[in-house]
Amino acid sequence: MNQQQYILSVILIFLGGCLAVLNGWSFFREFVLKKRTSSPVPFLGGIFLFWGLWIMPKPEVSSWAWAGLFLDLGCLPYLMFGLSLLALEARRYSLKNCLLCLSYTTQEAKGSIHVYPKKECILKYALKNNMACGSLIMQVLRYEPEKVLEIKAEEKSLLLAMQEKDWVVLEESGWNSPKISFRNAQLSLDHH
């Protein structure tokens, strides 16, 4: 048995195991305890475990090298879990589930407001100076079709109402970052 190969294998398995434990704890805190946590170190623990098992001089151990990629939750399991969540989110926020789709243009930005079931709203924005773009998931406080829409996220809020067949902004607050003023926003209904 090659002693250097054995020592390197044990070191890689130890490092991979430590990272796998940290990734498992991070996964448990975030998805089971629902607590904010630092992000896991993706793939590194699984790769260390894989290589440590692969170079092990014992064939009965090295044949299980692929298992390292699954033992580390920050590797393939986290990737599969993340992709399945992404697919669910894409389905949940598809335009066919949208209750109301509005486009808006202000002096500073342009974007859209999409209202979904379960009292959720996504407000997308792109600043006209191309300095920033993004989206906010906002809570729908009140929505009456073709009458009123009130949305809020932390300190940001908007109150829109239908007046003479057009949506207008009645109130806004908290739009300091990004700096957008919706007072004279031009709103139009998107048909999807």
Q: Are strands 148-153 and 120-127 parallel, antiparallel or unpaired?
A: unpaired
pLDDT at 130: 72
Domain ranges of the chain: 3-92, 95-189
Q: What is the DSSP string of 159-175?
A: EEEEETTEEEEEEEE-T
- HSE of 174 in the Cβ direction (CA atoms, 13 Å)? 9
- Helix axis angle for 76-92 and 3-31, nearest 10°, is 30
Quick one: CA torsion of 123, 129, 130, 132, rounded to 10 degrees? -50
SS3 180: coil
Tokens 């407001």 found at: 113
Tell me how far apart the alpha carbons of residues 43 and 50 are, in angstroms, rounded to a whole number.
Answer: 10
Q: pLDDT 10s per residue in the chain (192 long)?
A: 688 999 999 999 999 999 999 888 888 888 788 888 776 778 889 999 999 999 998 889 889 999 988 888 877 887 888 889 889 888 888 888 889 999 999 888 899 999 998 889 999 989 887 777 888 889 999 999 989 999 999 899 999 999 888 899 999 998 877 778 888 888 888 865
Tell me how far apart the alpha carbons of residues 110 and 108 are, in angstroms, rounded to a whole number.
Answer: 7
Q: What angle do CA 43, 45, 49 make, to 5 degrees?
A: 115
Tell which residue, 134, 115, 139, has the closest CA to residue 124. Answer: 134
CA distances for 62 relative to 13, 91, 137, angstroms: 12, 41, 47
* Total residue count of the chain as it appears in this document: 192
Q: Phi and psi at residue 63, in whole multiples of 5°?
A: -70, -15
pLDDT at 192: 57
- Extract the tokens encoding 14: 């130890």
